[in-house]
Structure 1
Amino acid sequence: MAGEILDNQGRGDAGWSWPPIHPEGRKYGVIAVAISLVPLLILDWEIIGWPLLMLSAGVFAFFRDPERVVPQADNAIVAPADGIVSLITTVEPPPELRIDDGSGHAGLPEGPVTRISIFMSVFDVHINRAPIAGTIRRLVYIPGKFVNADLDKASEENERQHILVERNDGIAIGFTQIAGLIARRIVPSVKPGDTVAKGQRVGLIRFGSRVDVYLPAGTDPKILLGQRCIAGETILAELGTQGLLEGISQ
């Protein structure tokens, strides 16, 4: 299915298949299986071995990397992460995405913007994707704490990585990968200067975390607080589109 064009008129061929495992997770899955086989095959401790073997399957599942159908509308900003929209608030973007970094490329402008926070539990896919097509202008890693990623202060206190993507027309989107209580490593797969497609994989965060997205001024979310997002598929916002949207939890 990868690379195939599908549309809302029925063009293309879609079907379910087992998702592949991200290379970063294969070694952890193999290690988990090896550990579970020791009590099963050597010590004959089935009461321990079988739960460990089931946990090994969970490790492989955590690193699953399913294909996604990415909307190609030019003004669409897609979700960079799977998970629940846990916060929508107005803030100043992080200084790492705003200040002059000496690269010759401008950062995000000064002034408050809408920040959408997507919380990923250990059951969500943890592959992160580019919200727009463009060039990676910044990739800034910040060491920090590991407080609950669902808390607002995690944006300023936790270990995190800021990414700035700039379109050909100069519009830029900043987003931040944030480690959480269990997450202990942010793994990028891009670097400054790389050109990415909308929805392209840009990295992952291991074992539960959060991603913040900073919308450009004059753009409101097209999603609701509490809504579930699918990375590369859910449209977070449409550039230049504003307006209140309401939903009912039921």
Structure 2
Amino acid sequence: MRLHREGNTIMLTTGLVLLALNLLAYFYLFSDNPTATTLLGIVSLVLFILVVQFFRIPNRLLTTGDAQVIAPADGKVVVIEETTEGEYFKDRRRQVSIFMSPLNVHVNRNPVSGIVRYFKYFPGKYLVAWHPKSSTENERTTVVIETPNGVKVLLRQIAGAVARRIIWYVKEGQPVKQGDEFGFIKFGSRVDVFLPLDAEIKVKIGDVTKGGVTVIAELVK
């Protein structure tokens, strides 16, 4: 396991603030109360571990396959439905949504290999990720990848009530490889995947996914 570079500043800042707080408590605030300083130390350690684990990148054997669509994120499948995608395709698509809690790994990975045909960032609100309007009103990005077989898959990173920053590493015209990082969402949110109607869905509501590993669908072409 390694730690993601997006967490370097947050982990360092958190560690320094907690260290300063504990030193202040030990020498001044609770100098005559060892129980209080011990409890503060334990709470600080737990808090720091929670922050660090958020930025972890576990070692994994990634799944690859030209016809397979791989989960772009760790989390739980909360939506599987046929819906109208109105931003890019403007037609009916099959949507699979994965909700990420603050305890999940938050690396976002390319579900397919291909060329980025479309990218757009939208500033917006921070509604809870399961809110019906979060996919159209929250801060979000939209990425469309066209596979070598000409099938287009749309990904949408959606910020939530806790997540306040979306990171992306792709741009239009860029070739991308299945399983590589395309972005990161800090502190929980959701990723929507829009697929052709004839895609065969391989997951069900409530399934837990592993980014880069779990096959969520298979493409016909």
**TM-score normalised according to structure 2 size:** 0.90
Indicate the SS of the match to 2:48.
helix
Tell me whether 1:211 sits opposite 2:197 in the alignment: no
Runs of 4+ in 1 over 4 A off after TM superposition: none
Higher relative contact order structure (alpha carbons within 8 Å, sequence separation ≥ 6): 2
| Corresponding residue of 1:182 | 162
Shift of 1:201: 0.6
CA distance in 1, matches of 2:213, 2:77: 14
| Corresponding residue of 1:93 | 85
RMSD over equivalenced CA pairs, Å: 1.5
Deviations 1:23-81 (A, max 9, x none): 11021111111111112223315243431232112111101112332222221000001
1:75 to 63, 67, 76: 67
Contact 1:179/1:208, CA 8 A, preserved across alignment: yes
Tell me whether 1:158 sits opposite 2:160 in the alignment: no
- Structure 1, gaps ≥5 residues long: 1-18, 99-107, 242-250
**TM-score normalised according to structure 1 size:** 0.80
1:237 to 211, 217, 220: 217
CA distance in 1, matches of 2:195, 2:61: 22
Contact 1:37/1:53, CA 8 A, preserved across alignment: no
Shift of 1:92: 1.3
2:56 to 61, 64, 69: 64
| Corresponding residue of 1:54 | 46
Indicate the SS of the match to 1:112.
strand
Which protein has the bigger strand share? Answer: 2
Contact 1:120/1:210, CA 8 A, preserved across alignment: yes
Deviations 1:87-107 (A, max 9, x none): 112111131xx2xxxxxxxxx
Tell me the number of residue pairs that the alignment of Structure 1 and Structure 2 aligns. 211
Tell me whether 1:200 sits opposite 2:192 in the alignment: no
Which protein has the bigger helix share? Answer: 2
| Overall identity of the aligned pairs, in % | 37
CA distance in 2, matches of 1:198, 1:67: 16
Tell me whether 1:138 sits opposite 2:130 in the alignment: no
Contact 1:29/1:57, CA 8 A, preserved across alignment: no
Indicate the SS of the match to 1:41.
helix
- Structure 2, gaps ≥5 residues long: 31-36
